[in-house]
Amino acid sequence: MTWQARIAKALGATISDARPLQGGDLSQVFRVELADGRRVAVKLGALVGAEARMLAAMQASGAAVPKVIWSGDGLLCLEWLDETQPSPDGWQALGETLARLHAVRGPRYGWDADYAFGRVRIANAPCDSWPDFWADRRLMPFVPDLPAPLARRIEALALRLPEHLPASPAPALLHGDLWTGNALFAGDQAYLIDPACYHGHDEVDLAMLELFGRPDAGFWAGYHACDPGREARRPVYQLWPALVHLSLFGAGYRGLVEGLLDQLGA
């Protein structure tokens, strides 16, 4: 059965139009028009079931996410959201929804399953020490594939992480890949999309949000106050997505990795 036929069976309406969308790094993404007038976002891929579970966990926190309409066998149907340009109220809504997400606590750092960004595996085995989690699950897996000088710098930093990171911050529920493209603004609302959830230090999401841009002041008005020293910890947390980009997209991101290591004196 084709995915179009599966959607028709699951949603009780035939498809009148389906258009591929950009940005499907982990799955194929389509805007689908149904014959009964409904519009849905459709994802196809091996990890969409895991994404559905993450969205459910996020929704349970009170965070704004697209509603899961149907999920099964590599197919995910989501509420369609009409995207608009971010407004100050939208940025504040993003801060508020992220605060609700981060208020949820897990028993340990990590998640109950691994995930992936393309060929980059995301190890999420639970851990009781936050510096150990960040070293063993986020930094060290890249070392075997890095040029030797860069690998040595990552190894040295991993050994010194207790100097940079708190030992036991609250294990907040994280979006896990919160660059600005994964915040969808619709009018004065903001929704979290394309998660890679696990439990960890809430500053991880903030650092990612600041890696390739800066949130509007309204975001900080909606989010709760941050702990002292966040700016010093930010490069540690930005290093992981920088390494992901280096692995996926090549040497053009080596300068970003090295610049973050320079900031950390590593």
| Catalytic residue numbers, as ranges | 177
Q: Is 120 helix (H, G, I), strand (E, B) or coil?
A: strand
Burial of 126: CB neighbours in 10 Å, binned 0-12, 13-18, 19+: middle
Tokens describing residue 97: 């929804």
> Which tokens belong to 94?
């993003």
End-to-end CA distance of the chain: 54
- Say how far apart CA 74 and CA 119 lie, in whole Å: 18
**In this structure, how many other beta carbons lie within 10 angstroms of the beta carbon of residue 14?**
13
- Sign of the Cα torsion 231, 245, 51, 212 reads positive
Question: What pairing do the DSSP bridges indicate for beta strands 39-44 and 28-34?
Answer: antiparallel
Cα Rg, the chain, nearest whole Å: 19
> What distance in Å separates the CA atoms of residue 260 and residue 146, rounded to the nearest whole number?
15
